[in-house]
Amino acid sequence: MTAIPASARIHPSAVIEDGAVIGENVSIGPFCHIGPKVVLGEGAELLSHVVVTGKTVIGKNSRMFPNAVIGGEPQSIHHNGEETTLTIGDNCTMREGVTINCGTVEGGGHTVVGDNNLFLANSHVAHDCQLGSNIILSNNVMLAGHVKIEDRAILGGGSAVHQFTRIGRQAFIGGLSACSYDVIPYGMLNGNPGLLGGLNVVGMTRAGVDRATIHRVRKAYKALFDEEGAIREKAAAIRDEFADCPQAMEILDFIAAESDRALSSPFRGKS
């Protein structure tokens, strides 16, 4: 029998299966369904008609709006019903119709979402995605499987991200963009196919990056993308010059890292 703390507020029409763990001050509204392996952290709120299923852990003070389905089985033809997981951090908001799936065995078995994320209506996070914190997915954003998104990235409405793609910290993906290749930290990508269009200077400024540092990062960007040659070779060649600039080094490290996808560029969509 599931133990429900006295501080929890549960609507009588909600279904909570035996085995679920309900934290203090949780609020579960009408016609919600909580599966037997779900853990809801302290202060979590489910407004109404929310399904939380699978082996899913949701952190403190997260909010789920009507028709969100959290922890569903992965939409993968390779999934054969194995038990995999979904972990969502604290203070996340999942608006109407949001879907977030558990992982697959082939992908490591874990979908992970950090803290303070905002997922707007009908956005989708597929199996085995790894998301950081303070990310915004606007309405109808679609993440395919195995996508990795670093902290403070923003994805505009209707954008779609190809499987195994990486999106760097504080990158910005424009609305309706097709993101088929990795996007560097602080990069801006727009269009279909998505092309790199410079740096997210507005986001950097809002995050407190000073003007001198932004100019340094712009210089590194130009050295990488305004000259002929292989991006990774150019990134290796300028490391010493930008060793004193953490933001530029973050871009260079991102480029040097192993990836299943090519790099987005301002020219043909990849490098």
Tell me the C-alpha distance between 97 and 68, whole Å. 4
Q: Which residues contact 222 (CB under 8 A, 6 or more apart)?
A: none
Q: Based on the residue annotation, tell me whether 33 is a catalytic residue of this protein.
A: no
Helix (H, G, I), strand (E, B) or coil at 21: strand
**Catalytic residue status for 145:** yes
CA distance 244 to 101: 40
Q: How far is CA 182 from CA 37, 75, 77, 135, 256, in A?
A: 34, 23, 25, 17, 12
Q: Which of 50, 66, 107 is nearest to 58 (CA)?
A: 50
Ordered strands of the 110-113 beta sheet: 21-22, 39-40, 55-58, 85-88, 110-113, 130-131, 148-149, 166-167
Residue 19 corresponds to which amino acid?
A: G
Residues 156 and 178: their CA atoms lie apart, in Å, by 11
Active-site entry in 90, 115, 128, 182: 128
Spot the catalytic one: 89, 132, 145, 194: 145
55: closest CA among 99, 111, 114, 16?
Answer: 111
Annotated catalytic residue within 124, 127, 146, 162? 127
- Cα torsion angle, 190, 194, 195, 198, sign: positive
Say whether 127 is catalytic.
Answer: yes
Active site residues per annotation: 127-128, 145
